[in-house]
Chains A and B, each alone.
Chain A
Amino acid sequence: MQSNAQKRPLGLQIAIYTFAGLWLLMAAFPFVWTVWGSFKVELDFFSIADWTYAITGERTKAEYGRPFTGAGYEGAWIKEEFWRNAINTFIVCFFVVCTSLTIGTLGGYALSRSAYKYTFFLLITALIFRAMPPVTLVAGYMLPFFEWNLWGILPTTIIVLVAINQPFTLWMLHSFFQSIPKELDESAKVDGCTQFQAFRNVIIPVMWPGVITTGLFSFLLAYNDFAVTSMLLAEENRTMVPQIAAFLGTTYTEGNVMFAVSAVVSATVPLFILVMFFQRQIVSGLVAGAVKG
């Protein structure tokens, strides 16, 4: 029910819808444009002659007889074997999320249930670690990793990403566990459980919403990382993002920009699906961080 005083004048109403439309365009248009263009040839996607070619695909028609072509995808996935990078990304993300949730849950739970002063200092240390650009750490990894022959392989990158993930995971799970009443595990302990049994039997069954939300952000961090993966992985073990960067180095000269474009679109698809199914969790995760932080 809106009272007269709250009813908006027409001008404001129009302004609101115009601005919302503009923002929607700003947020979505680049993606729509790139997805559409990825099915064209390079001369259409980067059209000097006439920008409408990018929509109608004149050159693509001339070359392939149809206004759409999967040539870019074929080149990236089959010729350049982008599927290897996709598998690597999948492995890295899967293990990063699992490991960082396992150790982060234990740590976050401990932080939320301990009343001693050192929890504060641990959280502040985590905040400082969170603030540091990951690339500043990479110089410190290089020498030992080369020395012990750990450089270039997936497990090393996974464990590094887990560690870089920890500060954020700890903060998030810490605030989530604080919202679970202490009485739950206290009463389990009164009934004779050890702390770990209380955690396993009482807390684990109710922690999944928070863990899933945190897991989403861990996944995003692992999936989106470029600085660490590109410096620590050997060429044959590259994940998708450093591979796309590598495409840029080689393809600008070879005239195969469309490989990079279709690889970019391919790498966006999982994120798109993620937002589609987990929109609520992402939003609530961001908000939880803001309220507690």
Chain B
Amino acid sequence: MRHSTFFWFFLPTALAMLLFIAFPIVSVVMQSVFAPHPAVLVEVETCTPLSGCQRETTIDQEATRALREAEPLGRFVGLDIFTDRGHLATSEIKAIWANSSTWNEVFQRLGNLPFYRAMMFTLVFTFIVTPFVILLGLLIALTVNALNARLKGLVIFFSLLPFVITPLIGALVLFWMIDSRGVLGSSIQWIFSDPNLSLKASTGLMWFSLILYGVWHAAPFAFVIFYAGLQTLPKDQIEAAQIDGATRLQQVRYVVVPHLMPLVTFVALIQLMDNFRVFEPIVGFNAAAHAQSLSWFIFNDLGGETRQLSSASASSVLTIIGVAILLSPVLVRTWRDFKGKA
């Protein structure tokens, strides 16, 4: 295909991505180093014959407007927003590092800084949900593969539901059951015979439920992919293993899993990307008091009456950097493969 033909074919999609993905990224980066102008204050001296002169400070509306129009981006603050208490909190970190005696204390105090709290939950969520999704997906795939044909269809049908469901809706459906008044919630209270154990009151239970939701939502995805991989498993390899006297567990360990390995890598990559953006379950579970994710953190800044664009932008930039770090091994590998081919 010639360059010019390629250009015209690719133009519409390139324009869409340029205007609504690339430019916003630039704009987010810009906003993160500019803060809104404060109002311009003027001191006015009003003198009246009887009470003498009084000095008052008022907002100079005209000057404020003029300033905002002259520099619509706001005033340049460099990396100040990144280092403030709401984000990287560098000075607080130094203090924590200097006066904490144990690691436990360091983590405890880090947990009080909102950005680090959100980051900790996001990382914990990502790195617990991803392996469990792979494991559960593999188990379901192996199980379904052993069922008879009619049951297979049924199980695949119902398995797809948690995956295609709107994340917010899926989270709500689970939340209403795990909530202290829901059927699972009251069972949990009954099992632990603790009537005060509820999702609203327990951080541990909240994290557990969110992770449970994450696994429930994504396991079908891993399952479908692994199940398809199992269909292409060469029969003779399994038979050879059987002739050599491998037990079922050994067959799975040494034949099936290596065969599925490329798919495991794929699922892990997609899951890392998707779990890192965890957001809807926190809204659905009403979990903000116990668990906040980076995406929720940004969303929270953006919403409400005071749209804190600078703060949200700084969090966004940090999140994008996080994604880049997460993705870098894959990118490096793809780049090497590409150079190897060329």
Binding site for B on A (CB under 8 A): 5-6, 8, 12, 16-17, 19-20, 23-24, 26-28, 30-31, 33-34, 37, 45-48, 51, 54, 102-104, 106-107, 109-111, 113-117, 120, 122, 124-144, 159-160, 162-164, 166-167, 170, 195-196, 199, 220, 223-224, 226-227, 231, 241, 244-245, 248, 260-261, 264, 267-268, 271-272, 274-276, 279, 282-283, 286-287, 289-290, 293
A231: chain B residues within 8 A (beta carbon): 299, 302-303
Complex Cα distance, B9 from A104, in Å, reads 10
B174: chain A residues within 8 A (beta carbon): 30
A20 touches B13 (CB 8 A): no
Q: In terms of DSSP, what is the predominant structure of the interface of chain A?
A: helix
B330 closest partner in A (C-beta): A127
- Choose the segment among B44-52, B90-98, B113-121, B221-229 that binds chain A (4+ C-beta atoms closer than 8 Å): B221-229
B191 is an interface residue with CB less than 8 A from chain A? no
B10 touches A163 (CB 8 A): no
B21 is an interface residue with CB less than 8 A from chain A? yes
Q: Which of B289-305 contact A (CB under 8 A)?
A: 294-295, 298-299, 301-303
Q: Which of A37, A120, A159, A264 contacts B20 (CB 8 A)?
A: A159
A268: chain B residues within 8 A (beta carbon): 165-166, 169
With known contacts A34-B173, A283-B224, A137–B24 Cβ distance under 8 A: yes
- Could you write out 28 A-B pairs with CB less than 8 Å apart? A8-B146, A17-B147, A19-B143, A20-B143, A20-B151, A27-B216, A34-B176, A34-B177, A103-B13, A103-B16, A106-B13, A116-B3, A124-B334, A132-B25, A140-B313, A141-B24, A199-B9, A231-B302, A244-B168, A244-B169, A245-B283, A248-B172, A260-B172, A274-B164, A275-B160, A279-B157, A279-B160, A293-B269
Q: Which of B20, B162, B177 contacts A27 (CB 8 A)?
A: B162
A227 touches B16 (CB 8 A): no
Binding site for A on B (CB under 8 A): 1-3, 5-6, 9-10, 12-14, 16-17, 19-21, 23-28, 31, 139-140, 143-144, 146-147, 151, 154-162, 164-169, 172-174, 176-177, 179, 181-183, 186-187, 216, 220-221, 224-225, 228-229, 242, 248, 263, 266-267, 269-270, 273, 276-277, 279-280, 283, 286, 294-295, 298-299, 301-303, 307, 309, 312-313, 316-317, 319-320, 323-324, 326-327, 331, 334-335, 338, 342
With known contacts A128-B327, A166-B16, A220-B164, A106–B302 Cβ distance under 8 A: no
B313 touches A287 (CB 8 A): no
A26 touches B216 (CB 8 A): yes
A284 closest partner in B (C-beta): B228
B6 touches A114 (CB 8 A): yes
Complex Cα distance, B269 from A130, in Å, reads 12
B156 touches A279 (CB 8 A): yes
A20 touches B155 (CB 8 A): yes
B276 closest partner in A (C-beta): A133
Complex Cα distance, B303 from A220, in Å, reads 24
